[in-house]
Amino acid sequence: MRRWRYFGYRLLLALPVVFGILILNFFLIRLAPGDAASVLAGESGAATPEYTELLRTKFGLDRPLPEQFVAYILAALRFDLGFSFRNDAPVSELIFARLGPTVLLMITAFTLALSIGTLLGLLAAVARNTWRDAVISVATLVCYATPGFWLGLMLIVIFSLHLGWFPTSGFENIAEGYEGWERVVDVARHLAMPAMALGLFYLALYTRVMRASMLEQTGMDYVVTARAKGQSERRIMFGHMLRNAFLPVLTMAGVQAGNLIGGSVVIETVFGWPGIGTLAFNALQSRDLNLLLGIFFISACLVVIINLIVEILTVFLDPRIQA
């Protein structure tokens, strides 16, 4: 009961953050020289001042700033994030069409990195200073130092071009018209390499954090207590240390979830993944300001949501939090 109240409280705390993002967004538009009307007028080639003025009235840009602000907030609450003139479609429509693939990619990469990273870190800590630890350490260092896009390209060269195991790009094979499970398998085959390219860096990072965290737990008093009870080393490891050691990893992963979105821009471009990253890249190239700000808002919301989930997870794992 108290736990649910706590979640409600955290959710409540997220609202001002989202509101803050909206305010920032609104003023970011205003900071750019010129307004949407002049941009649009410029786009159409030769626009008369009268035409520009007409556009201004049409978009409400001639009204006082507070009024515009209220209108903007109200619109945003209805998920109306403006109109992308480049794509000739509402921004929200464009984004929501692409949200699914990006969220799928992010969650897959995140889960892979966290689970395998934790496992490898655990293995390295257990086998400290043996050849297994050395292999894991070197491998993580290499992954840590390799840029994601290069890794992506290498994956394509090896696994698509040479071995032909995975498709080079895209979200699914539309031409085949798969249904049901066949479609799931198809999407998974397309997902494998981008998720790996995106997640490998974080996997390496979590491995290192987990290893350090495990080694730190080794010296803790409660571990000695468990040993003094006659508990076996394996049980001490999995029953006592694992959860304690995992907490810092989870906290760090939560903070870094935002970086995954940034990373997905590059990875999606490399793999032609039809997600927000590709959309952002195109919007950037064509200076589609409204669309960019919409993406900024949605990805900020995503980060807030991920942080919320991580926080809730932490509460379930650590009884000390919530008092």
49-59 vs 36-43: helix axis angle to the nearest 10?
130
CB 243 to another protein: min, Å: 5
When asked if residue 225 is in the footprint of another protein (CB under 8 A), the reply is: yes
128 is a contact residue toward another protein (CB under 8 A): no
23: contact with another protein by CB under 8 A: no
- Binds another protein (CB under 8 A): choice among 4, 145, 221, 234: 221
Using CB under 8 A as the binding rule, whether residue 317 contacts another protein is answered as: yes
Applying CB under 8 A, among 226, 257, 276, 279 the residue interacting with another protein is 226
User: Does the footprint of another protein cover residue 78 (CB under 8 A)?
Assistant: no
CB of 239 to another protein, least distance (A): 8
Q: Applying CB under 8 A, which part among 179-187, 237-245, 268-276, 295-303 lies near another protein?
A: 237-245
Query: To the nearest whole angstrom, how small is the minimum distance from the Cβ of residue 27 to another protein?
Result: 22
Secondary structure (H, E, C), the chain = CHHHHHHHHHHHHHHHHHHHHHHHHHHHHHHCCCCHHHHHHHHCCCCCHHHHHHHHHHHCCCCCHHHHHHHHHHHHHCCCCCEECCCCEEHHHHHHHHHHHHHHHHHHHHHHHHHHHHHHHHHHHHCCCCHHHHHHHHHHHHHHHCCHHHHHHHHHHHHHHHCCCCCCCCCCCHHHCCCHHHHHHHHHHHHHHHHHHHHHHHHHHHHHHHHHHHHHHHCCHHHHHHHHCCCCHHHHHHHHHHHHHHHHHHHHHHHHHHHHHHHHHHHHHHHCCCCHHHHHHHHHHCCCHHHHHHHHHHHHHHHHHHHHHHHHHHHHHCCCCCC
Residue from 222, 238, 262, 309 in contact with another protein (CB under 8 A): 222
Q: Does 229 bind another protein (CB under 8 A)?
A: yes
Query: Should residue 238 be labelled a site residue for another protein when binding is judged by CB under 8 A?
Result: no
Q: Is 13 in the site for another protein (CB under 8 A)?
A: yes
CB of 16 to another protein, least distance (A): 9
- CB closer to another protein, 125 vs 267: 125
224 lies in the binding site for another protein (CB under 8 A)? yes
Q: Which is nearer to another protein, 225 or 259 (CB)?
A: 225
Given the complex with another protein, which of 56 and 240 has the nearer CB atom? 240
Site residues (vs another protein, CB under 8 A) = 9, 13, 219-222, 224-232, 239-240, 243-244, 317-320, 323
